[in-house]
Structure 1
């Protein structure tokens, strides 16, 4: 910052020169001296005129003397009416006042409206941080200088969480939510910070935040993981396993976190008295008999596409398993299993409860159509043949 202040001082010096030099070089006005000289010249000219008129015989000696006396009186009257001429010395009070006020005013305006903090931050970030503590200090300076910059607030909160400082991170996540809006990922991380700051004791604030996050995004990973941890700590092992299975289904196949989650899932299912997750995945798929309501037989075409699907009750809106038929094949019995998954990461066996549905779509789009049938929520490992009738408009 030294070079910055030197440059600032130089610019102030130049500005002061433009203001002070005209004041210092100003000369006193000679107006008073010029007027006195003019009055004397006029008196002498009048005296010569009177003398010439006397020589020509136009004036007597008495009239000439009277005229000179009158001109002398006028000269004295003008001299008495003039003000005393100004002092010859320069008045330094105004230049000194300007020299003092100008830098102080400029400095005050800059400190109030300027960006000295931002300049200092940009210089500090010119070199990479040497340690985690150094990076934390820089982020703290950034948040202090720019409290409304959501990126700085968010990354400082994440850094505090990495340093096991959830009590410091929680208010920062709250501020990030206030600045960026109630995004599901921010709500989940805020709930996580509150949970660990509260000594791993689950409470209403964390529940409200995770509920809101999962309502907006059923795949919000932080909320799913946190609910699994909280469920396990509170001995709700079946719930914990369910949340962790949902989280595991969202992770890529090669993600190392899948193995860690599998260990937690197995442990939670064991304590809940449930079979291992691998055994659950080996359960046969759901068997569904799909039929068309008699009232719709004249409203559909034999070639219209029929999608039979299963969707998680508490999970992503995307169908977990789908089979494709035509109206001409109805009634038909199909089986939905992991082999019919629309995405490899979202499997039917990863969710405890599902809802069956069948849609007739003339355009062949699985997410929109003309007629729909829905079933009640059932266990995903149910062995009972499910009955599904397409009988309602798809709205």
Structure 2
């Protein structure tokens, strides 16, 4: 805040300087007043001198009258000049009072209408927090000063979850939903916080929240992960595998959580007595690239979904991998282990089509650009080439 007050002080000094300029001219005004008094005194002496000359007989009445008129004209001319000079100068009291009141008035107005608290808050958030507790305190201060900030409540909820304060996190996410609307990501975070706050007991509210989130966004990662955890805790291992496979299918290759989720799938398979290694059947290799004409129309962080879907069958993809534009060109493998649902595997359909979609929003079902292959057998072993080269006119 020191630089702020220094700047304010300099501005006040400049304003006070303008008000004190008339005082610097006060000496000139005083000189004009002294000159006027001297002219009056000289005028009176001139009249006495003319009167003495008339009485002595050296001046006639006409000459005496002309001399008096000439002295009066000279006095009037000097007086008018002094009046003009004094008219341009303020009194001493007004500038001094204004100079004293200006800083106090400015400070009072700033306290009433200013934004010193926002300035201080912005400075605080610009500094790197030294601990998660400090970050939590900042976020709590932010939502107190701006309770209608959905972003503030969202990040506060995430911070509470990192501190195992699930109950407080649930309230924060609920506030965010109330402000920003029922967005899938917010619903998933809210459901997850409620689940851990309720000692991992599933409820109708949790089911309703996750159903709503996945209906709006089938690839909503928090809901998929939560449903997998809940199914595993209830020993519904097949359901857990299904949810987690759908989650792995939409996560980027470099996502650090992929390994943990795949380990969870392996543990669930072990509990079911299934082999942990995926079957080799139903595997397609595809090299994905972006048409040269589109490279200046996309961004490196845009999501790229590569999937295979049945030529005759359900519209849901049979196997999915997620990349980014920055990864292209890339070679990916699609197999039964990438299935979004256990009952819909690549090896279960004879003819499939390969699709690659660029989606800036990260939504697998709709995007901006797309590439499609010709129909091919799911048992094809030769690598396939797929180029994203067309506008994505509708969800596929």
1:5-154 map, 5 Å: 7-8=6-7, 11=10, 14-15=13-14, 17-19=16-18, 21-22=20-21, 24-27=23-26, 29-30=29-30, 37-39=38-40, 41-42=42-43, 45=46, 55=57, 58-59=60-61, 91=93, 92-105=96-109, 110-112=114-116, 115-122=119-126, 124-125=127-128, 129=130, 131-141=131-141, 153-154=153-154
Partner of 1:382: none
2: distance between equivalents of 1:151 and 1:49? 95
**2:217 counterpart of 1:226:** no
How much has 1:356 moved relative to structure 2? 6.7
How much has 1:165 moved relative to structure 2? 1.0
Partner of 1:263: 267
Q: Is the 8 A contact 2:318 2:339 kept in 1?
A: no
SS at 1:157's partner residue? Answer: helix
1:274-353 map, 5 Å: 276-278=273-275, 309=311, 317-320=316-319, 343-344=334-335, 346-347=337-338, 350-352=341-343
2: distance between equivalents of 1:208 and 1:216? 12
Cα pair distance change 1:109/1:347, threshold 3 Å: closer
1: distance between equivalents of 2:156 and 2:217? 24
Partner of 1:192: 192
Q: TM-score, normalised to structure 1's length?
A: 0.53
Q: Is the 8 A contact 1:140 1:156 kept in 2?
A: yes
How much has 1:193 moved relative to structure 2? 1.3
Q: Is the 8 A contact 1:310 1:320 kept in 2?
A: no
SS at 1:7's partner residue? Answer: helix
Cα deviation digits, residues 116-154 of structure 1 (max 9, x gap): 2212332x41xx62x443443455456556767766654
2: distance between equivalents of 1:42 and 1:236? 120
Cα pair distance change 1:359/1:264, threshold 3 Å: closer
Q: Which runs of 5+ in 2 are unaligned?
A: 76-85, 283-308, 321-331, 355-369, 376-395
2: distance between equivalents of 1:139 and 1:45? 87
Cα pair distance change 1:21/1:32, threshold 3 Å: closer
Cα deviation digits, residues 46-85 of structure 1 (max 9, x gap): 666666677467439xx979x99xx99xx9xxxxxxxxx9
Cα pair distance change 1:97/1:356, threshold 3 Å: same
Q: Which runs of 5+ in 1 are unaligned?
A: 76-84, 271-275, 286-306, 322-340, 372-394
SS at 2:26's partner residue? Answer: coil
Q: TM-score, normalised to structure 2's length?
A: 0.53
Larger radius of gyration: 1
Cα deviation digits, residues 155-183 of structure 1 (max 9, x gap): 43222112211122224334555777755
Aligned residue pair count: 299
2: distance between equivalents of 1:33 and 1:319? 105
Q: Is the 8 A contact 1:231 1:240 kept in 2?
A: yes
Moved more, 140-149 or 98-107: 140-149
2: distance between equivalents of 1:282 and 1:344? 8
